[in-house]
Amino acid sequence: MAKDPIIGTLREGSLHTSLKELYMNGEARTEVLVDGYVVDVVKEGLLIEIQTSNFAQIKEKLLTLLRKYPVRLVHPLAQKKWIVKQSTESATPLDRRLSPKRCVFIDIFDELVRIPSFIQHHNFSLEVILIEEEEIRCQDGKGSWRRRGWSIVDRRLLEIIDRRLYVNPSDFLHFIPDSLERPFTNSKLVQSLQISKRLGQRLTYCLRKMNVLKTVGKEGNAFLLDVV
């Protein structure tokens, strides 16, 4: 059973609000109660849910809504991120620097690994948006030790760089290079794409769960993979 609806507009971050505005045209409505859940945007019969992080948090909601409605999950990836530090007393920036991390479309698998089979549902689609953003940090002593106590208090959209829509499992096959000899091992895929081993494992795991990639044998201790 769905939990009591909570319209969390006041807790909504700037990034979430800005992305929601991308879809607010025509007959679009926002913060709509649907089967016990508050949906970000409803537009021409399509339910649009914007999730800026952690797909696991929205899994139950998606499963419920997908039974009856077309649902599009929207997720931003920061291809360019500015880290802005500000004091606890005011919003005046103390420092602004460019993060060395630059996300691309393939980084979606860090989140998609939590719901890899959803794309097989006829009502589900995923839109990945590459953005430039500002990440606002405040030194309140409550943040991660990796950030030395600095908390992330907001994220602000600066620019939309690119967008890509995934409707069918086969749409994800563009991540498998045409130049890669088949069948292939995960390590050869990682080398071809020049990505981390962890990300490569998540990519192939997701594609196998989508039934567009299969195991066809072994090469030593490594599994051989090929497109279905």
Q: Which domains does the chain show, CATH number per domain?
A: 9-167 (no CATH), 174-228 (1.10.10.10)
Instruction: For residue 64, give the 3-state DSSP assignment.
Output: helix
- Is residue 145 scored above 90 in pLDDT? no
pLDDT for 141: 63
Tens-place pLDDT, residues 95-125: 899 999 999 999 999 999 999 999 999 999 9
Contacts of 126 (CB under 8 A, 6+ apart): 72, 73, 74, 75, 108, 112, 118, 119, 165, 166
**Position 11 confidence tier, pLDDT thresholds 50, 70, 90:** low
Q: Which residues pair with 130 in a beta bridge?
A: 77, 162
Tens-place pLDDT, residues 42-76: 999 999 999 999 999 999 999 999 999 999 999 99
- Is residue 4 scored above 60 in pLDDT? no
Tens-place pLDDT, residues 181-207: 999 999 999 999 999 999 999 999 999
Q: State the pTM of this model.
A: 0.89
Q: Strands, DSSP E only, in 60-149?
A: 71-86, 93-98, 124-139
**Position 144 confidence tier, pLDDT thresholds 50, 70, 90:** low
